[in-house]
């Protein structure tokens, strides 16, 4: 059995250690004897339609958003058709924002997303930088997922989206309505969250549910062998304890003026 991972925009959306999410999927598949093939596709490069079982989109910085958004818009048709074909997409932070309809920064022109998720994001006055946790229900199972949020965008979900999870600790999508992340209301396998961490290595429950959904596309229902998950569980508990201490900052200094004439 084999797993095909597509790491989308790895050199642009790379700032939060999200390569760890790709590594978690690779290793948890390999440790179970699966063959794993990973492709990295940056903005300006084509996505092979129907190839990937799971596509990972990471978090990035606000100034990289335009590069990533332009690339993603060119790749959107291929991405959309793979989702319709049952493939999984897992997106973090900037990835979540760009899968939505639009990102309106605090200053500058709005950035069009690809409207795969029914959500909109506006740059807010506060940057949420703190440990965070949410409760997630997937495949008739429920767990607390823990990570670190670092965003100033305020996201509102439309009727075509439901939350990825319910906020337990932290701010979630907007610090107001208790929603964390997004997934489509139609039940297709797009999962988007604000939680960095990277979260998959320390939330093995979530990693395995994404793996199961990804493998189902070409291999049908797969029963994953259990893994010991000792270090994963301790890392989860350590992060959750940090989230309960609720340390973190809600400040930011303005970003550089880039792209000016010399």
- Which C-beta is closer to other proteins: that of 219 or that of 247? 247
- Which C-beta is closer to other proteins: that of 176 or that of 245? 245
| Nearest approach, Cβ of residue 186 and other proteins (Å) | 31
134 has catalytic annotation: no
CA-CA distances (angstroms) from residue 160 to 55, 175, 200?
Answer: 21, 21, 26
**37: β partners:** 4
Residues 11-70 that bind other proteins (CB under 8 A): 11-12, 14-20, 23-24, 27, 40, 42, 61-64, 66-67
Q: Which of 65, 71, 101, 70 is nearest to 184 (CA)?
A: 101
| Nearest approach, Cβ of residue 97 and other proteins (Å) | 14
CA-CA distances (angstroms) from residue 212 to 33, 46, 207, 219, 241?
Answer: 14, 26, 9, 10, 28
Stretch that binds other proteins, among 108-116, 156-164, 172-180, 247-255 (CB under 8 A): 247-255
Residue in 7, 131, 151, 196 annotated catalytic: 196
219 has catalytic annotation: no
Q: Does 129 bind other proteins (CB under 8 A)?
A: yes
Residue in 9, 93, 134, 151 annotated catalytic: 93
Q: Does 144 bind other proteins (CB under 8 A)?
A: no
Q: Does 247 bind other proteins (CB under 8 A)?
A: yes
- Applying CB under 8 A, among 2, 45, 84, 237 the residue interacting with other proteins is 237
| Nearest approach, Cβ of residue 247 and other proteins (Å) | 6
Stretch that binds other proteins, among 72-80, 81-89, 123-131, 218-226 (CB under 8 A): 123-131
Q: What sign does the dihedral 163-183-55-62 (CA atoms) show?
A: negative
Active site positions, annotated: 93, 196
């Amino acid at each position: 059995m084999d797993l095909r991972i597509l790491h989308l925009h790895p050199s642009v959306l790379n700032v939060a250690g999200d390569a760890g999410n790709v590594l978690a999927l690779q290793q948890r598949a390999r440790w179970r004897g699966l063959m794993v093939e990973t492709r990295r596709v940056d903005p300006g490069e084509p996505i092979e339609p129907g190839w990937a079982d799971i596509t990972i989109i990471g978090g990035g910085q606000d100034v990289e958003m335009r590069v990533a958004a332009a690339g993603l818009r060119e790749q959107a048709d291929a991405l959309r058709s793979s989702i319709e074909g049952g493939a999984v997409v897992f997106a973090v932070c900037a990835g979540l924002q760009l899968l939505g309809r639009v990102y309106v920064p605090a200053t500058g022109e709005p950035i069009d997303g690809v409207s795969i998720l029914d959500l909109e994001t506006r740059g807010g006055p506060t940057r949420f930088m703190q440990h965070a946790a949410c409760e997630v229900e997937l495949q008739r199972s429920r767990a607390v997922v823990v990570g670190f949020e670092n965003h100033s965008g305020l996201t509102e979900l439309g009727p075509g989206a439901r939350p990825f999870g319910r906020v337990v600790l932290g701010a979630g999508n907007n610090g107001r309505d208790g929603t964390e992340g997004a997934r489509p209301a139609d039940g297709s396998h797009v999962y988007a969250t604000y939680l960095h961490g990277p979260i998959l290595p320390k939330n093995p429950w979530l990693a395995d549910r994404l793996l199961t959904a990804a493998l189902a596309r070409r291999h049908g229902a797969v029963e994953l062998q259990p893994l010991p998950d000792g270090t994963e569980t301790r890392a989860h508990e350590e992060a959750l304890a940090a989230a309960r201490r609720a340390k973190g900052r809600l400040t930011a200094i303005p970003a550089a003026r880039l792209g000016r004439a010399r």
